[in-house]
Amino acid sequence: MRRAHAPAWLLAAAVMMAVLEQQPATAQADGNVSIVYIDAAAARRSINPEIYGVAFATQADLADMNVPVNRRGGNTNSRYNWALNADNRAKDYYFRSIGFDSPMPAAEVFGFLQTCEAAGAAPMITMPLLDWVADLGPGRQTRGSYSIKKYGPQTDWDPWNPDLGNGVRSSDGSEITDNDPSDANRPSNIDFQRGFVQRVISAFGNSSAGGVPYWIMDNEFSLWHDTHRDVHPKGATMEEVRDKIIAHAAMVKQADPGAQIVAPEEWGWTGYFYSGFDAQWAAANGWGGAYPDRDAHNGTEYVPWLLSELAAHENSTGQRLLDVFSLHYYPQGGEFGDDVSVATQRKRNRSTRELWDKDYVSETWIAEPVALVPRMREWADTYYPGTRIGLTEYNWGAEQHMSGATAQADVFGILGREGMDLAARWTSPPRGSPVYDAIKMYRNYDGVGGTFGDVSVSVMSSVNADDMSVFAATRESDGALTVMTINKHLVGSRSVTMQLSNYAATLPIYGGAVQTWRLSGSSGIQRLADTGLYRDGGSFEAQLPAQSITLFVVPGAWTPAPPSPPSPPSPPPRPPFGRTAFVSSASASPSNAARPGVPVTISARADMVDGPPGSFLLDVEVHDVSGAMVKQEFKQSTASMGEFLSVEFDWLPSAAGTYTVKVGVFSAEWKTSWHWNDTAAVIKVSASGETSGSDGSGGVGDPQFQLSVSADPDQAIVDESITLTAAATLTGGQTGPVYLDVEVFDSDDSRVFQGFVELNFTSIGNEMSKAWTWTPSEEGIYRVAVGTFTTDWSSSWKWVVSAAVVEVRTSADAGGGGGGGGDSGGDASGPPEFASSVDISPGLQVLVGTWVTINASATQTSGPAGNYLIDVEVYDGADNKIFQEYTDLTFDATDSTRSAVWRWEPAASGTYTIIVAVFSVDWSSNWHWNANAAQVSVGESPDSGSVQPTWSSSGVVSPSGQVSAGTQVAIAVTIVHSGTCNDGLVDIEVYNSDGAQAFQRYASNVDFTQGDVTATVIWTPSSAGLYRVAVGVFTNSWADNLHWNNQVTTISVI
């Protein structure tokens, strides 16, 4: 859009230091011959080599291009969760949170930093400033912000996970605004990000010791409400951006005073003048007129205001929190892309003038001069003097075409001539592409590190800048004059005469050698025959093909100092993974009875199982539930195969919660990760409760319990079963579900047994109990502890550390003898095995409100006799458990059958799956699981004369039997229906043995009026395992589940 007026700086006259379109009166061109005047003494300006940066380049490409900066930025880094090593792809890809391959905290950033270090490039790392970062499901499962099952049909979805939508309703095209950010994200704050900085510094040192020199403050704040609308739906205000930059930059500077802060990384033209709040307002109310956020700041434009506020902060505190003022810029006329039509190529030639030319009016919707580099310099000098400027994202497109190459070469020349301090192209072009080679023309034209000069000098020419660009610079290392000539013409060669002044070449004789290097077409960089220099040493001529980049290197008049003797080559970098291997474990004492302010002793050990001997760091970390590191200890030791590393230390927890102990093994300099154990131990710290065995109570409103445990017998012999019965009475506070937890500890305070169950206390005075069977394997004195916890284990309502004592001896003289059932008896060996079935009455098709009798039977087919739990569970079509009952039954011999009967009253229509399972009596072992013992179809009470619909489904796979990973599998599902449903949505899903979804495909508007429906999909499994296929029928809106079969068939993948 057009702004109301042009700023004064844009109207002022300025002397260009190295311009092409200045046309002195003496410079005339005849036909296609152009005269270029190069004055080596005029308009001299140092070129910062850090303008030649890229993003996400590999080590090999960084070294081959010889680029000095590698940036890690972009939208996904705004929600990088360093603790989980995961990010969220935001609007770029279905708002999907996905984990990188390694679960090691910050592993992806560590790999990036190792790449930069090996190639000698300065890394730029993005610091997330949003209040949310990515979160993962169990087993590092991908999660999305807009589940179609949860939020309904959407206009697009992830083809690899069709439940993950784009957040746009298919019904009316509106954006979903009532989503829960925690669906795929977890909260973040400055303390969490401090852990990120500390982890990087601990591994790579601070900026002065080879660590991270540039920390980027997030990415494109003014687009947060669009790019990250699932977690930040309101546009960011000026104050929000300022406050977040100040807080996070101060935190970085505190940890590493030498680190450089880069901000605000705004996206483009409107992002320079309007905050996200104003941009969102304008999108809804129309551009033009008053803007609420800007008006609240006396009409000041957004980025200038931000610079002045950061300057005011330094004036008041003495601390500079912005080192590089950074913006992004992408041409808006279609140049950023692969379009190489004649019109777009010519526009690409012209539009690079938006970077510098105050007289060039943008040919896009911007419709006014941009002159980006001088504009940025003016803003920095005016609003925050002493601040460097950086163009940290840009791209002129056409990477595989010379049109893109000439544009990239033009951009590099402009940035150097105009005085940009730092730049990073988005991203790194493909190796061997014309744009890749255009970068090498500036940084490694000869393959051995030859570069364009580092001091820009004056260039004047009669040629139009839209057709040809010439840049010149002297090279301080050897005195050479380098001249980069870019012929942008799409057809036809051009002749050029170079007139040199104030430069004494070493070639006084006609016919001397001016090195000539050229990139033209698809042949890559070539060295041509040397160009002759005229007798006076002051001029030479050349022919320039259409769409070509030619570098002339004129040797200087002085001889450089002889090079220093080469230093011995450094050893090759150690591979990040190799034969070296460890296994690790950790323990904490106490682990479940810890309290804030009471020390917890943590012991960790890592055994070296393979690899050469060496010096290693054993790293032990304690993380809270948000992933933030609250404690770290590490120890350097040497180890050989068969030896181990160990460390022990005390940690003083400051708050209640569940904490995870993580163990890693690193090389001695922290650069290589040999091993990482993400869950070596779990510590539960309780906010309240007793530690001496007397009763206690929680705070106001907290549930209060009377707890007891009995052991029968309390004197036993080794391998004799002991029944532990825990009783809990709610004596006050809130009602609701809790975990009743019983744990047995030996004399060393090591836990040898645990049993817990969820109990729902509905009223004060409610008393409930639960029995478990424990079989001790060693003699000793054991204490039994009992406690009540929240069902997420985050808080303990009551804990009695010694509610009972049990003495175990090796012979029968223990006294007390006694029996006690459970998981023992019988002479059979091996694990128990069962078969199961259910009988449903009055049948598999019932109406809502009808009592359903479930008669579950289990037959033991092998294994020891004893007590086992028979468990029956009912799941609805969305896999929600809506009913569960279980009982403890005794199986006295193989082939014995036991049955239990329960009644269930379905409250809603749908298809329900009944599961039968057999567990050990302490729930520690699942001996049998029948995932589809029966299906019950529940309908609403039918109107008079209507027919109650019924459904059934079956499935087959081809090839049958076992298939290899990577083999295509055809899954054919047949659905039989009777009733009044005309059409619906058929959903086919595949789950692995852990219950994680591995595949899903569905089709809507399926016609059920023509008889049976068969749907076939193709799935290619990527890993071995046993998979089950589920099928469902839904209404087209996903609102109602008409049928669900949790397992129509199985697939065995080897």
DSSP track, 886-924: EEEEEE-STT-EEEEEEEE---S-EEEEEEEEEEETTSS
Q: Residue 641: which region, alpha, beta or left (left: phi > 0; alpha: psi -120 to 50)? A: beta
Question: Parallel, antiparallel, or unpaired: how do β-strands 494-501 and 581-589 relate?
Answer: unpaired
Q: How high is the pLDDT of residue 512?
A: 56
Over residues 301-329, the pLDDT tens digits come to: 999 999 999 999 999 999 999 999 999 99
Residue 20 is predicted with a pLDDT of 35
> How far is Cα 691 from Cα 474, in angstroms, rounded to an integer?
77
- In angstroms, the CA 1043 to CA 877 distance is 7
Residue 531 has pLDDT above 90, yes or no: no
CATH class of 704-811: mainly beta
* Residues 449, 447: Cα–Cα separation, whole Å: 6
Choice between 1037 and 775, residue whose per-residue pLDDT is larger: 775
Q: Would you say residue 565 has pLDDT above 70?
A: no
Which tens digits make up the pLDDT trace of 613-663?
888 889 999 988 877 888 889 888 888 877 889 999 988 888 888 888 999
Residue 790 predicted with pLDDT over 60: yes
The pLDDT score that the predictor gives to residue 365 is 97
Is the CATH number of domain 8-47+330-554 2.60.40.1180? yes
- Tell me what pLDDT residue 963 has: 85
Distance of CA 249 to the CA centre of its chain: 22
Report residue 949's pLDDT band, with 50, 70 and 90 as the boundaries: low
* φ and ψ of 454, to 5 deg: -115, 5
Provide the pLDDT confidence category of residue 976 given band limits of 50, 70 and 90. confident
Residue 463: pLDDT over 90: no
Token readout for 792 is: 């997420």
Higher pLDDT, 576 or 602: 602
Burial group, residue 392, by CB count within 10 angstroms (0-12, 13-18, 19+): buried
User: pLDDT tens digit string along 863-884?
Assistant: 888 888 899 999 888 777 888 8
pLDDT per residue over 396-426, tens digit each? 999 999 999 999 999 999 999 999 999 999 9
Report pLDDT for 81: 97
Domains 581-671 and 950-1053 belong to one CATH topology: yes
- Alpha helix (H) residue ranges in 256-301: 269-273, 276-285, 292-295
Predicted confidence at residue 25, as pLDDT, reads: 29
Q: Which CATH superfamily is domain 581-671 in?
A: Immunoglobulins (2.60.40.10)
Chain segment 22-67, per-residue pLDDT in tens: 333 233 333 457 899 999 999 999 999 999 999 999 999 999 999 9
The mean pLDDT value for 359-367 works out to: 97
Looking at residue 986, what is its pLDDT? 86
Per-residue pLDDT for 957 more than 90? Answer: no
Mean pLDDT score of the chain:
85
With a cut of 60, say whether residue 567 has pLDDT above it.
no
The dihedral through the CA atoms of 955, 957, 962, 966 has a sign that is negative
What are the residues facing 914 on neighbouring strands? 874, 934
Per-residue confidence (pLDDT) for residue 945, from 0 to 100: 39
Give the whole-number percent of the chain exceeding pLDDT 90.
50
pLDDT value at 489 more than 60? yes
CATH code of domain 950-1053: 2.60.40.2550
**What's the confidence (pLDDT) of residue 811?**
65
For the chain, domain boundaries: 8-47+330-554, 49-322, 581-671, 704-811, 833-939, 950-1053
**Whole-model pTM above 0.75?**
no
- Tokens standing for residue 1013: 């429906």
pLDDT one-digit tens code per residue, 101-133: 998 899 999 999 999 999 999 999 999 999 999
> What is residue 351's three-state secondary structure?
helix
pLDDT value at residue 822: 37
Mean pLDDT calculated for residue range 795-801: 74
Fold of the CATH domain 49-322: TIM Barrel (3.20.20)
Report pLDDT for 693: 34
* Residue 905 token pair: 């009253």
Structure tokens at 761: 């206390």
Judged against a pLDDT cut of 70, whether residue 806 lies above it is answered with: yes
* pLDDT-above-70 percentage for the chain: 87
CATH of the domain spanning 833-939, picked from 1.10.238.10, 3.30.360.10, 3.40.250.10, 2.60.40.2550: 2.60.40.2550
